[in-house]
Structure 1
Amino acid sequence: MQLKTLLLSSAALPLAKSETVLGVYIFHRHGDRTPKSLAPTSLTALGADQVFQSGSYYRSRYVASDASSPIVGLSSDIAVPTQLSVISPADSVLQSSALAFLQGIYPPAGDNGVSVLANSSEVQAPLGGYQYIPVGVSSTASSNPNSENNEWLQGGSGCGNAMVSSNNYFRSEEYLGTLERTRSFYGGLLPVINGTFGAGQANFKNAYTIFDLVNVATIHNQSIPSRALLTDDALFALRTLADAHEWNLAYNASDPIRAVAGATLAAQILQQLDATLTGRGKTPVGVQFGAYASFMSFFGLAQLDKLSADFTGVVEYASSMVFELVTNASTPSSSSSSSSSSSSSYPNVEDVSVRFLLANGSAAQNAPREFPLFGRARSPLPWTDFAAEMSKFAIGDTAAWCRACGNTTGICASAASSSSSSSDGGSDGEGAAATTSSNNISVPVAGVIGALVTLVLILGVEGLVYALAGLKLVKKATLAASAAASGAAGGAAAAGSKA
């Protein structure tokens, strides 16, 4: 995904210098791992270092005493568990990545980790004062405990309508046409991959897992069978075909339920940022580790693909996207204790905005850059605008997820009965129960964003007039040489991105 070249240089917006950061939500991909086709996958030493270095970058940006954009009231050296909300699916690659990342955010405390006992003796915490920061297990209905062992992104989601929607891609003219055009290309790579994929599997249907196997091999293997076949053009075609395959499984503009991963992520982002505001900074940092599919789904829902087709590719290992709560109003000193951030100087909602940033690859090597969301021409967005836009597609609780997915068994059995009784009482549309159909869904956050977003929705009619007046189209970037390279590799219809 070439965001770090074309997109990050031409579409990024400069950061304001006078802002105060009230809180952040970071969604992070795992680091380098073993290939999916050779399950179980595991995080490599390179992968652990990638996410550790990313954590170190975010420490220098938000946490350290000399941070460039310090978060108000956040402890700089000793982690305070109540100030951080960190979650990940119960997946070994993602959980391990989260732990390595947190050691970058809060490294061993050294002398600060020494306890002085009643008898005046001193005890040094193990590993130089290693800080134990809890990583919770994602509790949403769509959480997948084996995210990195699933070769197909919807295969383990459990969302019935999303699986049906993604399967529709395999019956589309686009898919069938690409499948036929690329048979000779994949067949020509059999000497490279036939230790894992047979002749009947060497085709576009397995575009991502074939790319993944080759990509891991080029990183780790000193010798690869028939290495000469892996020319630059062949590697580019493998990557762009995988991008196209995964994008079409993760998002479809006419069938939003396909992007269920992005919709549930949107609700989690809103919940955390809203909690930061309503709690006046008591828990200012939210971190979640997840798979690339959630990035792609969210990119589509947030209309980032209209900004550039580069957003339709698989993000690199250790990529992260960040949502900053910022203000230009007076705030408590960023070096003060967390309790001070709840003082009367905490800014009002109308003085708060949200900035979106993306690092494609480890933030230590590719610093996060700013992009406008929702087809808007401005960034950051006022909190009220941001919350209203996110609420249009966010799926915020189990009942809403079950309705959108059409699930009625398992965890959805009890949710269906409770939501049925509550829906009899009526709905106000934007802030309550969602409606679903086979081709379209409206799934606003159902009672999980809090009173703040309720206020946003009450004022939404008046605000929408002004918001629409401020919209303008953003020209979609073109992908240089993608068509030529793909054609040379068998006519691959892809999205010029790097996984």
Structure 2
Amino acid sequence: MADNTLLGVVILARHGDREGFYQDPSSYTASSTTITPEGNLQEYQLGQLLRSLYLNSSSESYISGINSTIADLDQIKVRADGGDEGGVIVNSATSLLQGLFPATSDYNVTLANGTTVEGPLGGYQYIPIESVEPDNDVSLEGWTSCGAFDTSTNAFYNSSAFQAKVNESASFLNQLSPYLDGRPVTLKNMWNIYDYMNVENIHDASFAASIPDTFMEQARDLANWHEYGVFSSPELAGIGNIAARTMLPSIFESFTSITDSDDPLKISYLALAYKPFLSLFNMTGAAQMNSELEGIVNYAGALALEIRNSSTSGEPVLRFNFKNGTDDNGFTTYNILNGTGDIPLSTFVNYLSPAAINTTADWCTVCGNTKDRGCGALALAASEASAAARVNQRISPVGAGFLGAGLTLAVCLAMLGVLVFLGFLTVGKGRSRQKKTNDVAEKA
């Protein structure tokens, strides 16, 4: 029997269409780029779809108790990756929210003089977005500046499986060279190759007309294989899964709020790059059970983790719904964790929580980083705490006596020095001090 009462939803959505972009193949250090009007539209339409599902009282997935006209800011929480791809992800979140909570004349206020003032732009609603900056918060970009991840990525490039794929794809890659505007044509650079081709195919009519029919699909297949190999690991807590491991605490926190009847939260929305999807699909077994998920999520692709009341047990269940960009008309429910359909929420949390990276300190340890993203401050604090602990070790009564006498003498000397500095006491001949004072006055 289906579980139909929806308590709330955690939405993970990729950004919309953007301009060109480059990532270092080893560290995935990214360049900045810009969202396009097409990307804004894709996200807006995704927001409209989510509204029709979750804020429409006639929908089977309507969230009971949610304010569907004027956004109740206690009922929605939005976090967006503020680092990867510049402002593209934050701007995508803004567009999605326009579709989710559109402008309305009901967004108004009546002033003391009786005048009713409607919000600008037809009652545009400004939903707060937390821009998650990677230097301050590792949760949405766990792979950045992570030495262990870089090592794992290079190990993948040196693996026998990768070398076999190099040989297998060599002929095709050689044919690509004329279309890549001088870019390195190697399997290691496959993400950048495909992304360049995809951007040009969308925005450059000459490129779209000249590229052979099968080349885009072949390049996409290689890029999917490449990225899934980088952002996944056979071990649940493997470093290849780090893009999801740092994100899990945000998801779990939202689950806790949604299932708490005293907490008003109904919708939690994480705006992301494609990478966390790969890791999460791998960790949950969704990719292994559904091979089409072993690849790059399309622009405006979205995962909806629905939390529902169970009709058969006393605990909530989770439904795993995914829509791969604008090419999909709607969401599809996928099986995960070797189960079928809805699974107990506790099963999901208990299985994944051991792999979660819960704090910056944990991330620093996992990545072997002692200087970046707050690790330097943590290392310094730990060093100072260790030094303080050594100073505060217990001493004998005799030692305490000597220490007390020494401190008393030090305090007296310090006070004497202050008095001398302020002129209340002089050391040596007073005439000498007076002469120096006169000299200074003359020079002035």
- Short-chain TM bin: 0.7 to 0.9
Shift of residue 84 of structure 1? 0.9
2:87 aligned residue (76, 87, 92): 92
Any residues of structure 2 matched to 1:53-452 within 5 Å, and which? 53-90=45-82, 91-110=86-105, 112-138=106-132, 154=143, 157-194=144-181, 197-198=182-183, 201-224=184-207, 227-228=209-210, 230-254=211-235, 256-278=238-260, 280-328=262-310, 350-362=314-326, 365-375=328-338, 377-410=339-372, 411-415=374-378
Q: Give the TM-score, by structure 1 length.
A: 0.69
Alpha-carbon distance in 2 for matches of 1:317, 1:372:
23
Shift of residue 143 of structure 1? 5.2
- Paired residues in the alignment total 373
Q: Structure 1 residues 193, 144: closer, same or farther in 2, change over 3 A? A: farther
SS of the aligned residue for 1:362 comes to helix
RMSD: 2.8
Shift of residue 387 of structure 1? 1.5
SS of the aligned residue for 1:395 comes to coil
8 A Cα contact 1:260 1:297, kept in partner:
yes
Alpha-carbon distance in 1 for matches of 2:300, 2:137:
20
Alpha-carbon distance in 1 for matches of 2:61, 2:238:
35
> Structure 2: any 5+ residue segments left out of the alignment?
24-30, 387-444
Q: Structure 1 residues 216, 247: closer, same or farther in 2, change over 3 A? A: same
* Structure with the greater alpha carbon radius of gyration: 2
Higher relative contact order (CA 8 A, sep 6+): 1
Alpha-carbon distance in 2 for matches of 1:286, 1:217:
34
Alpha-carbon distance in 2 for matches of 1:130, 1:139:
26
Shift of residue 369 of structure 1? 1.2
Give the aligned residue type for 1:231: P
For residues 238-273 of structure 1, what are the alpha-carbon distances to aligned partners after superposition, in whole Å with 9 as ceiling and x for unaligned? 111111111111112157111101111222211111
SS of the aligned residue for 1:189 comes to helix
Shift of residue 54 of structure 1? 0.6
Shift of residue 328 of structure 1? 4.0
Q: Structure 1 residues 56, 350: closer, same or farther in 2, change over 3 A? A: same
Shift of residue 325 of structure 1? 0.9
Alpha-carbon distance in 2 for matches of 1:416, 1:273:
32
Shift of residue 179 of structure 1? 2.6
For residues 420-452 of structure 1, what are the alpha-carbon distances to aligned partners after superposition, in whole Å with 9 as ceiling and x for unaligned? 999xxxxxxxxxxxxxxxxxxxxxxxxxxxxxx
8 A Cα contact 2:302 2:322, kept in partner:
yes
Deviates more, 1:250-259 or 1:100-109: 250-259
Shift of residue 141 of structure 1? 6.7
For residues 276-330 of structure 1, what are the alpha-carbon distances to aligned partners after superposition, in whole Å with 9 as ceiling and x for unaligned? 2236341121001111111001111111222022221111110011111101469
SS of the aligned residue for 1:31 comes to coil
> Structure 1: any 5+ residue segments left out of the alignment?
1-14, 148-152, 331-348, 423-499
Shift of residue 393 of structure 1? 1.8
Alpha-carbon distance in 2 for matches of 1:286, 1:222:
39
SS of the aligned residue for 1:316 comes to coil
Alpha-carbon distance in 2 for matches of 1:301, 1:417:
34
Q: Structure 1 residues 140, 418: closer, same or farther in 2, change over 3 A? A: farther
Alpha-carbon distance in 2 for matches of 1:250, 1:142:
22
Alpha-carbon distance in 2 for matches of 1:168, 1:328:
44
Alpha-carbon distance in 2 for matches of 1:136, 1:395:
20
Alpha-carbon distance in 2 for matches of 1:383, 1:139:
30
Q: Structure 1 residues 266, 146: closer, same or farther in 2, change over 3 A? A: closer
Alpha-carbon distance in 1 for matches of 2:98, 2:222:
36
Partner of 2:15: 30
Alpha-carbon distance in 1 for matches of 2:62, 2:296:
30
Q: Structure 1 residues 182, 306: closer, same or farther in 2, change over 3 A? A: closer
8 A Cα contact 1:276 1:282, kept in partner:
yes
Give the aligned residue type for 2:334: F
Deviates more, 1:253-262 or 1:309-318: 253-262
Shift of residue 140 of structure 1? 6.8
Give the aligned residue type for 1:36: F
Alpha-carbon distance in 1 for matches of 2:263, 2:93:
22
Alpha-carbon distance in 1 for matches of 2:311, 2:337:
25
Q: Structure 1 residues 362, 224: closer, same or farther in 2, change over 3 A? A: closer
Q: Structure 1 residues 328, 173: closer, same or farther in 2, change over 3 A? A: closer
Q: Structure 1 residues 379, 35: closer, same or farther in 2, change over 3 A? A: same
